Structure 1
Amino acid sequence: MKYVYCLLFYTGFLSSLHAQTSLTQTVRGRVSDKESKFPLVGATVQILNATADGLGTATDSLGRYRLPNVPVGRRTVKISLIGYKEALLNNIIVDAGRETILDVDLEEAITELASVTVKAQRTGDARNEMAVVSARQFTVDEADRYAGSRGEPARMASNFAGVQGADDSRNDIVIRGNSPGGVLWRVEGISVPNPNHFAIAGTTGGSVSIISNKMLANSDFFTGAFPAEYGNGIAGVFDLRLRNGNNEKHQRSLQFGFLGTEAALEGPLSRKTGSSYFVTYRYANLWLFKKAGIDIGTQALPRYQDASFRFNFPLKNNAKLSFWGFGGTSTIDLLISEQEVTDRNIFGQNDRDQYYTARMGVAGITYEKPLNRKTFVRLTLAESGTVQDAYHNYLFFQNGADGLPVVENNRYKITGKAPILDYRFSETKTSLAGAVNHKFSSRSTLRAGLIGDLYSFNFIDSARVVTPVPNAPTQLGPWLTRWDSRQSAVLLQPYVQWRVNLADRLTLSAGLTSLYFSLNKNSYSPAEPRLGLSWDLPNRQKLSFAAGLHSQIQPTYTYFYGADLHKNRQYLNSDVGLTKSWHYVTSYDRLLGRNMRLKIEAYYQKLFDVPIEEQQSSFSILNTGAGFSRIFPGKLVNKGTGRNYGAELTLEKFFSDGYYFLVTGSLFDAKYKGSDGVLRNTDFNGKYAFNAVFAKEFTFGRTSLNLGAKFTAIGGRWYGPVDEARSQAAQDIVYQSASRNTLQFPDYRRFDLKVDYKINRTRLTHTIAVDLVNILGIQNILTLSYAPQPDGTFIKREYQLGFLPVFYYRVDF
């Protein structure tokens, strides 16, 4: 870490050489009606904590405003207009290297009383006004400043109540005990494939996010009972919004760090029309970890790159047309034949060389137009695709007289290789989403829409059965085709959602949606009601309740498993229906002073029609969706059940007086029943989760220093006794089905620190940051793996990542 300290000293020394004159930057943007998106004229925009006088202005006929000469630092922006609820945006970062652009939506007030004033950013309310509970708006700054988040939305969300990470090496998240596979990712109103590098079919996470946080505008995150427009998800929703580039000034951002070399460019295409561009590119630098001797769980070198773009064109009558997209590719070769016996390999099996490549991309067009002061329409057309390509070579180890593998020079002696697995899963999707928002009055708003997806599947997979023979070479069976599918299907989701203020302090949000998947007759949910009620109480308190029925299709590759298992080439699970879930949530919210919030939520989730195996077993789809492995179940039927319940607490101090903190705690229980009828813990039933996040900012003229810390404590994952005979036959860990999830790994603990040092110069901002993940090097158990050892044992405990320093240097200009 010496070079990090040297860089901090060097940049601090440079900053001291410049005169301590105040640096300023422009803050500008647009103010619109929240429901109709119509521009608001005459809204007052003020900087409340600036040192200069007269920092205020009003919006013009297009709703635009401009505040030049705003001193750099963290500022509070107040937006007000007669007849609308006031918005107060705190913790707005103004840097010398780039303009700060704030587009704000104001909600029309029922009455013009001070009692209805809304401090929008301080309450953490979602952008989606139809959401009542279990919803939170998050900013790019939150993804950047939370220690251990590595600048990613998913890892940032693991700080929130009811949310926990599934694996240090991946960004899957577990919401209220649900499988990570139950999370829905949406961008610009459409669902998108897993937007992460090294993604595996059926999962929603990966090692590194493909979406650059530089592209994100303020977005929403839901943990349950979400509104009707969100279908095909039973655990949670990321509803991401992409921001436009600066339409007046060209700006650049260059970043170099352990996770990659990045470049972001934005600026005007035409200053006359207000059109803009925004493009990013990143290439992995993970070789730096290996060079520095930092353990990332494998000796293999993961490689990835990604890019994104957005071109925005304002049209007549306040309409907008945007072309956008993002995508990435990732590759890793796990070569057991080249590693030493003592090398770690938590990502693959220890009996083969594995070659893996994953690609993902989305490109779309979005059209938005306020038809009048009451009606707004939005249309998005997109094309997306994913590919996972893998090839495995089985290794023949030379065994000694004792029957154990021979070790020479700390390497297993290998006598040969043979291909054992080859698969390519490809899935493309054409998506169309249309929505109309109509405001009947200040009390009542209706939103209706339709989301349609046309899927095309191309799943090919062949493998050979491994048959160990005592005191003889392992036998490889003939090739068996497990997947061979080229099919298509349509997913349709119409919805309607109505929000009405029944009284000045009582709000009702009611909706209805439906889900139809054309692959089979069982994948149809004709009516899914959603209901939310919110009651504002005196002394800045609020009570809320929400309930709803949710459903989700299965991981698409599971429908087509078993092409050769029956000679008539029937797929085992082509007729499996939807997983369904009832959500019930109640919450209590109170503002404590001007900058602190207390929130308590309790929930109950009833899962039914869950796919389980037809033959008696402990299998359930609720335990899948995390890690780097696919599933290979037998015949599935929708007869499983599950239930999750718990209570969550959030105590949050918003950034003021130079510091903030977030403390969250969850107590929960998540259980399920397989076809054997036994009520068991799910794999993700940690029972509790606790997070404490704190950060303090010190300012020194043109420079600032942020120190952040995070402590996490989570109950351990569940597993069961190993079936040793079947494990040795399969050369993989096989658990005893009858006693599944009766044992629990020790609790998970992690302490992170983050140091962020920023230097503002004229039209230039330097940022140096280091995120010290698991700084205490605590060994947390990940899983059990099959790894034959010279002493005759083959069960090995694999541990999560240890100490991981994530460093980057960024310059904005």
Structure 2
Amino acid sequence: MKIVFFLFITFYLVQTKAQQVTQIVKGNVSDEASKQSLQGVTIRLASNLSKTTLSDSSGNFKLTDIPLGRQRFIITAVGYEPLSLNNIIVTAGKEVDLTISLRESLMNLDVVEITANENSGGRKVNNDMLSVSARTFNMDETKRYAGSLGDPARMATNFAGVVSTNDTRNDIIIRGNSPNAMLWQLEGLNIPNPNHFGSLNSMGGSVSMLNSNLIDQSDFMTGAFPAQYGNALSGVFDLKLRNGNSEKHEFVTQMGFNGFEGGAEGPIGNSKGASYLINARYSTLSLFQNLGIEFGTGGATPEYMDLNYKINYRIGKHGNLSLFGIWGRSSMDILASEYDPEGQSYGNEYSNRYPRYQTSISGLSYKYQLNKKTAINFILGYSRTNEQFDRDSVNQENINQTIPDWHWRFKINKFSGVLHLHHKFNAKHSLVAGITEDFTNYTLFNRRMRHGISEMILNNRNGDFGLMQAFTQWKFRMTDHFSMVSGLHYQYLSLSQTNSLEPRIGVKYEGLGSHVFGFAYGLHSQMNNILTYATVTTTAAGNRYTNESLGFIRSHQFILSHNWNIRSNTHLKTELYFQRLFDVPVTKAPSSFSTLNLGAETIPVLRDNLINEGVGRNYGLDITLERLFNKGFYYLLTGSFFSSRYQGSDGIWRNTAFNMKNVFNLLGGKEWKVGKQENIFGLSVKVSRVGGRYLSPVDIASSVIDGEIQYEETRAYSLQQPAYFRADVKVSYRKEFTRATMELALDLQNVTDNKNIFRQEWNAQQLNVINVYQQGFFPVPFVRFTF
């Protein structure tokens, strides 16, 4: 607390005498389809239409002396549909930079109205090719929602069709699919798991490495996405990073659950439009632990650090070059000597565990406007993940005596090249096409010692492979109310020499007053986890790799959507979906095993001799009632009713590990103005109730023999856990100074202290099963200064 007090006093002393404080709002406007910068676009402040400006020949604009608080801006241009940007937060500590895209009207208009529909820009996605099951989000939502902790994945669990039943990790289940079935994309680059403690066999982790201070408005998809996205079955995070301020140096200091943080942005040299943006963070959980706050890891202290950056440089009038990246490192020592059987802990009293993770992602993007109708984007990328894990058995009579029993080293290097072409034929027809080549080099070694004596090699493979993806998609706007997007996606995996050609189509009708209808179909496919391909089959002649010929997991997806705009700021959305999965890897010998259940555990689950003969099906209904932020109040109510089942090689239909059947979320918040300045007190509440996950009964006899937990495969996923319940409350305060902003918040996680089950473990000393419980009540303080 001394650090916080010192920062506050220092921050306060640099302020001048209170006065009427205003801020600059600037940005860029472009055509939605061609990406061409638009000149002569009118940008107005809705509360004071005299504050008006026009975009220049490069599409840039600037409004000065804008009052603090949530503001609405109206954007109009001859020949384009008007747009309203609502609830743009204007603070003293940072200039506002907006990226705006306009859709050309099919009607020839000589004049435009000054007003625009208040809801026209409320949920406008970045990608104009999206028809259904898509939602945009921004930095404000990742910070404002209770329980989100500035994490896009945790924030997404508020959306219909998205589930998390884990208090300590941010893995998300989309419409009954494994967390591994989704795609993370950053600035158009396909990236690996962007989380601390994010293992190779999962797409989540304990803490996100993505810094919310850098995230721009981004898209999140939950199914039947268009042809430009591939190698995914459930959903896509299409993340965008904002550019730094190219005219003024600005800074941020922050402390919260995600760590101590410092950031800076500003212009580079004398080049117009050149900017840098960088944020560094170091974990604070050790500080919380010293204060006696329990966060679900017992005596173990998670340690992590990360770096996010983006450098943007304008080349001439039509070119733009940007360098961006993420780097993160995390580790934790989970010791038997620090195990607390009465508390919550990852560990136990009979083993020591030492996880180590390191991830780096970097990309170089070049965008060039060939002409008024055509733009290209070329990206070069490199990513590296290094995962290490060691586990030792501890002698209960002599805790200093240990026996190594698990050891793995997973190293992945990926080199990527991406080329996208955007072309607009006219107001009715536009085309996007592209190609992606990912070349991956890997070193995988996984050894287990059974009872400290018998050695088992699970993975032992070095190699490389390529995954090539290509797509083309065409948008046809028949009228201002009716549009269709059709496309083809193709991918080829050199490792198993398999390919897939996937048709996609989406239709949207915006008519009948306040109603919008949509339909989408897509054939989607995904390669298996690299650990599955590299699983060892031990023979007398040596190691064989019987899974390397596996083809893609494939699925047909159908979605019907209806969105009813009840009022300008309130809408009711329902989506009915069906997903048929096929070519799923299962064992040759009859069993209940299916790779559709991988991702339920962070420890690798490996089987050899797999064949693409399994099937699965997911279907359900998602309902969303949402009031967008208006007059200081918002709410989001979602409900999902679904079924997720699969069939192994034994031909029996079973629940998947992710078949919770129903999910209910209630999220709401209110802001009040305090004092003469635009100081804000806020309250946000979230309540979630999720049907229990299915588990397999533990095979006690087999667990005793093996030394690890074993399950009754003939009764796989037949036992349902109790329902998951969690409530979060967040209180916040934002104080405006002359040239800076201070934000204070307290996020009260799991306020009811509900003990949700994390997982089951086998006690090799006592020869019984123990339940490991998740994080209980956990208060998270937050302090942020921008200046």
User: What is the TM-score when the length of structure 1 is the normalising length?
Assistant: 0.92
Give, in whole Å, the separation in 1 of the partners of 2:706 and 2:344: 21
Q: What is the deviation of 1:600? A: 0.7
Q: What is the deviation of 1:288? A: 2.3
Give, in whole Å, the separation in 2 of the partners of 1:633 and 1:368: 44
Partner letter of residue 798 of structure 1? V
What are the superposed Cα offsets for residues 589-610 of structure 1, whole Å, 9 maximum, x if unpaired? 1211211111110000000011
In 2, are the aligned partners of 1:319 and 1:367 still within 8 Å (CA)? Answer: yes
Verify: 1:624 aligned to 2:571, yes or no.
no
Partner letter of residue 665 of structure 1? G
Counterpart secondary structure, 2:245: coil
In 2, are the aligned partners of 1:448 and 1:495 still within 8 Å (CA)? Answer: yes
Give, in whole Å, the separation in 1 of the partners of 2:709 and 2:456: 21
Correspondent of 1:654 among 610, 628, 631: 628
What are the superposed Cα offsets for residues 17-74 of structure 1, whole Å, 9 maximum, x if unpaired? 9976431110001111111221111111011135xx6211111122111111111101
Q: What is the deviation of 1:696? A: 0.5
Give, in whole Å, the separation in 2 of the partners of 1:516 and 1:350: 47
Correspondent of 1:698 among 657, 672, 681: 672
Residue of structure 1 in register with 2:499 after alignment: 524
Verify: 1:76 aligned to 2:64, yes or no.
no
Q: Relative to structure 1, is the Cα distance of residues 754 and 122 closer, same or farther in structure 2, using a 3 angstrom cutoff?
A: farther
Partner letter of residue 245 of structure 1? G
Residue of structure 2 in register with 1:749 after alignment: 725
Q: What is the deviation of 1:188? A: 1.3
Counterpart secondary structure, 1:503: coil
Q: Relative to structure 1, is the Cα distance of residues 341 and 174 closer, same or farther in structure 2, using a 3 angstrom cutoff?
A: closer
Residue of structure 1 in register with 2:433 after alignment: 448
Verify: 1:514 aligned to 2:512, yes or no.
no
Q: What is the deviation of 1:464? A: 1.5
Give, in whole Å, the separation in 2 of the partners of 1:359 and 1:14: 38
In 1, are the aligned partners of 2:694 and 2:717 still within 8 Å (CA)? Answer: yes
In 2, are the aligned partners of 1:166 and 1:626 still within 8 Å (CA)? Answer: no
Residue of structure 2 in register with 1:733 after alignment: 709
Give, in whole Å, the separation in 2 of the partners of 1:119 and 1:509: 26
Residue of structure 2 in register with 1:38 after alignment: 36
Residue of structure 2 in register with 1:360 after alignment: 359
Partner letter of residue 336 of structure 2? I
In 2, are the aligned partners of 1:445 and 1:499 still within 8 Å (CA)? Answer: yes
Please list, as runs of the form range in 1=range in 2, the aligned pairs for 1:359-758 lying within 5 A after superposition.
359-398=358-397, 413-414=398-399, 416-466=401-451, 476-521=452-497, 523-525=498-500, 527-562=501-536, 564=538, 567-700=541-674, 701-702=676-677, 703-758=679-734
Counterpart secondary structure, 2:692: coil
Q: Relative to structure 1, is the Cα distance of residues 424 and 55 closer, same or farther in structure 2, using a 3 angstrom cutoff?
A: same
Give, in whole Å, the separation in 1 of the partners of 2:353 and 2:772: 18
Counterpart secondary structure, 1:295: coil
What are the superposed Cα offsets for residues 779-805 of structure 1, whole Å, 9 maximum, x if unpaired? 22222222368xx67222222211111
Give, in whole Å, the separation in 1 of the partners of 2:666 and 2:194: 28
Counterpart secondary structure, 2:533: helix
Give, in whole Å, the separation in 1 of the partners of 2:490 and 2:324: 28
Counterpart secondary structure, 2:751: coil
Q: What is the deviation of 1:757? A: 0.5
Q: Relative to structure 1, is the Cα distance of residues 416 and 565 closer, same or farther in structure 2, using a 3 angstrom cutoff?
A: farther
Q: What is the deviation of 1:567? A: 3.5
Give, in whole Å, the separation in 2 of the partners of 1:566 and 1:651: 61
Correspondent of 1:762 among 716, 728, 738: 738
Q: Percent identity?
A: 38
Q: What is the deviation of 1:750? A: 0.9
Residue of structure 2 in register with 1:286 after alignment: 285
Correspondent of 2:104 among 108, 113, 130: 108
Residue of structure 2 in register with 1:29 after alignment: 27
Partner letter of residue 94 of structure 2? R
In 2, are the aligned partners of 1:132 and 1:545 still within 8 Å (CA)? Answer: yes
Residue of structure 2 in register with 1:66 after alignment: 62
Give, in whole Å, the separation in 1 of the partners of 2:692 and 2:779: 24
Give, in whole Å, the separation in 2 of the partners of 1:419 and 1:234: 38
Verify: 1:54 aligned to 2:50, yes or no.
yes
Q: What is the deviation of 1:318? A: 2.2
Residue of structure 2 in register with 1:408 after alignment: none
Q: What is the deviation of 1:111? A: 1.4
Residue of structure 1 in register with 2:163 after alignment: 164
Give, in whole Å, the separation in 1 of the partners of 2:383 and 2:120: 33
Q: What is the deviation of 1:254? A: 0.4
Q: Relative to structure 1, is the Cα distance of residues 579 and 117 closer, same or farther in structure 2, using a 3 angstrom cutoff?
A: farther
Partner letter of residue 40 of structure 2? G
The alignment yields a C-alpha RMSD, in angstroms, of 2.2
In 2, are the aligned partners of 1:181 and 1:626 still within 8 Å (CA)? Answer: no
Partner letter of residue 630 of structure 2? S
Q: What is the deviation of 1:355? A: 1.2
In 2, are the aligned partners of 1:492 and 1:515 still within 8 Å (CA)? Answer: yes
In 2, are the aligned partners of 1:170 and 1:627 still within 8 Å (CA)? Answer: no
Give, in whole Å, the separation in 1 of the partners of 2:400 and 2:702: 25
Counterpart secondary structure, 1:317: coil
Q: Relative to structure 1, is the Cα distance of residues 800 and 257 closer, same or farther in structure 2, using a 3 angstrom cutoff?
A: same
Question: Which stretch of structure 1 is more off in the superposition, 336-345 or 760-769?
Answer: 336-345
Verify: 1:256 aligned to 2:265, yes or no.
no
Question: Which stretch of structure 1 is more off in the superposition, 714-723 or 122-131?
Answer: 122-131
Counterpart secondary structure, 1:333: coil
Q: What is the deviation of 1:104? A: 0.5
- Could you tell me which runs of 5 or more consecutive residues in structure 2 were left unpaired when the two chains were aligned: none
Counterpart secondary structure, 1:36: coil
Partner letter of residue 362 of structure 2? A
Q: What is the deviation of 1:746? A: 1.0
Partner letter of residue 41 of structure 1? Q
Give, in whole Å, the separation in 1 of the partners of 2:385 and 2:604: 15
In 1, are the aligned partners of 2:627 and 2:634 still within 8 Å (CA)? Answer: yes
Give, in whole Å, the separation in 1 of the partners of 2:340 and 2:628: 50
Verify: 1:317 aligned to 2:323, yes or no.
no
Q: What is the deviation of 1:121? A: 6.1
Counterpart secondary structure, 1:172: coil
Q: Relative to structure 1, is the Cα distance of residues 660 and 317 closer, same or farther in structure 2, using a 3 angstrom cutoff?
A: same
In 1, are the aligned partners of 2:655 and 2:694 still within 8 Å (CA)? Answer: yes
Q: What is the deviation of 1:740? A: 1.5
User: What is the TM-score when the length of structure 2 is the normalising length?
Assistant: 0.95
Counterpart secondary structure, 1:507: strand
Q: What is the deviation of 1:341? A: 4.7
Give, in whole Å, the separation in 1 of the partners of 2:339 and 2:636: 43
- Could you tell me which runs of 5 or more consecutive residues in structure 1 were left unpaired when the two chains were aligned: 399-412, 467-475
Give, in whole Å, the separation in 2 of the partners of 1:305 and 1:565: 43
In 2, are the aligned partners of 1:611 and 1:640 still within 8 Å (CA)? Answer: yes
Give, in whole Å, the separation in 1 of the partners of 2:338 and 2:290: 18
Please list, as runs of the form range in 1=range in 2, the aligned pairs for 1:168-247 lying within 5 A after superposition.
168-247=167-246
In 2, are the aligned partners of 1:618 and 1:737 still within 8 Å (CA)? Answer: yes
Counterpart secondary structure, 1:557: helix
Partner letter of residue 775 of structure 1? V
What are the superposed Cα offsets for residues 259-300 of structure 1, whole Å, 9 maximum, x if unpaired? 310011100003442210011100001112312322222221
Partner letter of residue 128 of structure 1? N
What are the superposed Cα offsets for residues 506-540 of structure 1, whole Å, 9 maximum, x if unpaired? 1110000111110013x311x10000011122212
Please list, as runs of the form range in 1=range in 2, the aligned pairs for 1:119-130 lying within 5 A after superposition.
122-130=121-129
Q: Relative to structure 1, is the Cα distance of residues 204 and 121 closer, same or farther in structure 2, using a 3 angstrom cutoff?
A: farther
Counterpart secondary structure, 2:582: strand
In 2, are the aligned partners of 1:733 and 1:785 still within 8 Å (CA)? Answer: yes
Q: Relative to structure 1, is the Cα distance of residues 117 and 111 closer, same or farther in structure 2, using a 3 angstrom cutoff?
A: farther
Counterpart secondary structure, 2:131: coil
In 2, are the aligned partners of 1:771 and 1:806 still within 8 Å (CA)? Answer: yes
Question: Which stretch of structure 1 is more off in the superposition, 372-381 or 569-578?
Answer: 569-578
